[in-house]
Amino acid sequence: MGQAWGVSRVTDTSSGVDLMQIVAVLGAGVVAAPLFKRLGFGSILGYLAAGLAIGPFGFRILADPAAVLHFAELGVVMFLFLIGLEMRPAKLWTLRRQIFGLGVAQAAVCGALMTIAGVLAGFSPAVAFVAAMGFAQSSTAAIIQTLEEKGEMSTPFGQRAMSILLLEDLSVVPLLAVVALLAPEASHDLRGSWVGVAVAAAAVAVVIVAGRWVLNPLFGLLAGSRVREAMTAAALAVVLGAALLMESSGLSMAMGAFLAGVLLSGSGFRHQLEADIEPFRGLLLGLFFMAVGMSLDLSVVAAEWRMVLLVLAGCVVTKAAGIYAVARVSGADCRESVQRTTLFAQGGEFAFVLYGAGMGVGVLDGQVNAVMTATVILSMVLTPMTVRLVWSLLPEPAPDTAGLARPDGLNGAVLIIGFGRFGQVVSQTLLARGLDVTIIDTDVEMIQAAAGFGFQIYYGDGTNLDVLHASGAGRARAVAVCVDGKDTANKIVDLVKSSFPHAGLLVRAYDRRHTLQLIAAGVDLQVRETLESALAFGQGALEFLGLPEDEARETAEEVRRRDQERLALEQASGQLEGFNQFRPREPKPMPLFQAGKEARPLTPETREIAARGTPT
């Protein structure tokens, strides 16, 4: 019995996917996603390429991409749930104008333009409308993943993008209802349509009621039981249950998960839920993109390649024009408009649902469905490369410096460049002795915030020689370089050493190697940004543990002395020989004091690291 069960587990393909196929899918994703990301193309394109390679039109390792796609859509569902956890109802309410204003405008304008283009190309109005509205819906998964990788999720640009995506999810029900009404032999049962709307509204009401009055007490009971796996199972049940309810009522699964996340965003269990869902989200989202790659029917592309390319170019260009126009009319600048255009110009996963519904009621025939499906998938495949290329060519946005003072003819005794956390403390020390200090920075928000506390910070880039002259570097007794980046600090050091050799040069060092570089450059004072605070912390820890204050201070001084001795030894032994060459020799990090007992790995991961001898 055990042997038979083992064989059936590996070879039974009645469900469409066997164990070997699962291993192939996971292995392809593991190889392709990191490789493409390392090459700079992003993980999405890697997953798409992996899916294309192992799918029915590649090596044919997996012959049923539809089964994988349906399952992997749960990745999108969980992604939207996690986003909902970060979106409190009050914050969502503030986005209502963007959702129902910007979102409706973009969907309506793009859909109308592509419908008109389809009619002019010779399609019937019904076919043109369904094809256009399917392509008008952008890929929620691809856009959110791109925003996350670019660090744009929490920015105003990211919030506007999310608002548009939410509106597209809300448009699922009305669009499906319109497709049903466009059926050639439809009875136009308006009563049935209204019943569908009522069912959808009831489903939303159920999710809201459960989220507000049921889920929090439930999670409280589970947390009291201290059974971790029960919490994880409950989190998955909430996400999948909300998605299932919404799908059964004709709405988007993603919308149900998002709504559940919003309702739980104020819960005390929010962070626990996020930790439980995150691993499943990442894996399933990768599978989703692989399934999209598998679904690309290369035989259709080969047989109808002229038609596919023509439709692809027409849809992308027309939709891009509509997105750009709406963005500019709504007040976005040129940079954001181009970013939004490249991000949203592709079709999305909802197109597959809409085209399937169109085929089911006879609006679309098999050929149109195949061509449009291939067009949508190709647009999703091309989007990561387009975003990477176009965004890299866009100039960095110029900061809004209106109302900020610029340096001109200043003559302070000390010029401080950089007013971050480090520079603020330095300025306090100098101001406490009544020194005339001039401060410049390029962080507009920091300058504006400092003005509220009575600080006069000038807007100026310390890597610009003209700015240094205007800031009084030629008359200053000392120039204190307190910027964050070591490359920026090194550039300022070169400028000051060559143009203002009389001024003392005091520099914030990033790490030990940077310290050695600054010593080699001949600065007058360098301080590693974390060294002194770490020594003070260590001294305080010793005092807390019962060591007398004078002994704790002596210990901290001993560590400081040994560090200085080693720094001098590294300097004298030529650790930075070849400083100006392409790859200078790195100083090897070594502890000043060895541990009193041998380290004991507590997990397989730390045991493996210890076996490799990786320095800490």
What is the tens place of the pLDDT at every residue in 59-81?
A: 888 777 777 776 777 777 777 78
What does the pLDDT read at residue 9? 36
Question: Which 8-state DSSP code applies to residue 226?
Answer: T
Bridge partner residues of 505 (DSSP)? 479
What average pLDDT does this structure show over 269-288?
A: 78
Bridge partner residues of 506 (DSSP)? 480, 525
What average pLDDT does this structure show over 91-108?
A: 84
What does the pLDDT read at residue 584? 42
The helix, strand and coil proportions of the chain, stated in percent and rounded to the nearest 5, come to 65, 5, 30
Give the pLDDT band (50/70/90) at residue 574: low
Q: What is the mean pLDDT of the chain?
A: 81
CA distances in angstroms from 16 to 58, 73, 286, listed in the order given = 18, 17, 19
The tokens for 282 are 């990442």
CA-CA distance, 1 to 454, in Å (whole number)? 81
More confident residue, 233 or 258: 233
User: Each residue of 204-225: b (16+ CB within 10 Å) or e?
Assistant: beebeebbeeebeeebeebbee
Long-range contacts, stretch 213-221, CB < 8 angstroms, 24+ apart: 215/260, 215/263, 215/264, 215/267, 216/264, 216/267, 216/268, 216/269, 219/267, 219/269, 219/272, 219/273, 220/269
In percent, how much of the chain has pLDDT > 90? Answer: 29
Instruction: Give the best-scoring range by mean pLDDT among 112-121, 294-303, 448-457.
Output: 112-121
pLDDT over 90 at 489, yes or no: yes
pLDDT over 80 at 602, yes or no: no
Closest CA to 141 of 266, 291, 248: 291
In this structure, which amino acid lies at residue 434?
G
Residue-wise pLDDT for 422-434, tens only, equals 999 999 999 998 8
The architecture of the domain spanning 414-573 is 3-Layer(aba) Sandwich (3.40)
Residue-wise pLDDT for 290-323, tens only, equals 887 787 777 878 888 899 999 999 999 999 999 9
Q: What angle do CA 280, 285, 289 make, to 5 degrees?
A: 155
CA-CA distance, 66 to 343, in Å (whole number)? 25
CA-CA distance, 412 to 75, in Å (whole number)? 58
CA torsion sign for 468, 471, 473, 474 is positive
Give the pLDDT band (50/70/90) at residue 480: very high
Indicate the CATH number for domain 36-183+194-381.
Answer: 1.20.1530.20
Closest CA to 141 of 305, 282, 40: 282
Closest CA to 134 of 407, 371, 478: 371
pLDDT over 90 at 548, yes or no: yes
pLDDT over 50 at 221, yes or no: yes
Q: What angle do CA 34, 39, 42 make, to 5 degrees?
A: 60
pLDDT over 70 at 410, yes or no: yes
pLDDT over 80 at 190, yes or no: no
Instruction: Give the best-scoring range by mean pLDDT among 28-37, 111-120, 197-206, 439-448.
Output: 111-120
pLDDT over 60 at 225, yes or no: yes
Torsion-angle region of 32 (φ positive above 0: left; ψ -120 to 50: alpha; else: beta): alpha
What does the pLDDT read at residue 147? 87
In percent, how much of the chain has pLDDT > 70? Answer: 85
More confident residue, 423 or 180: 423
Burial of 104 (0-12, 13-18, 19+ CB in 10 A): middle
Q: Indicate the domain borders of the chain.
A: 36-183+194-381, 414-573
Place of tokens 């406490």: 432
Q: What angle do CA 373, 379, 382 make, to 5 degrees?
A: 140
Residues sharing a CB contact under 8 Å with residue 520, sequence separation 6 or more, in sequence order: 571, 576, 579
What does the pLDDT read at residue 577? 43
What average pLDDT does this structure show over 334-338?
A: 92
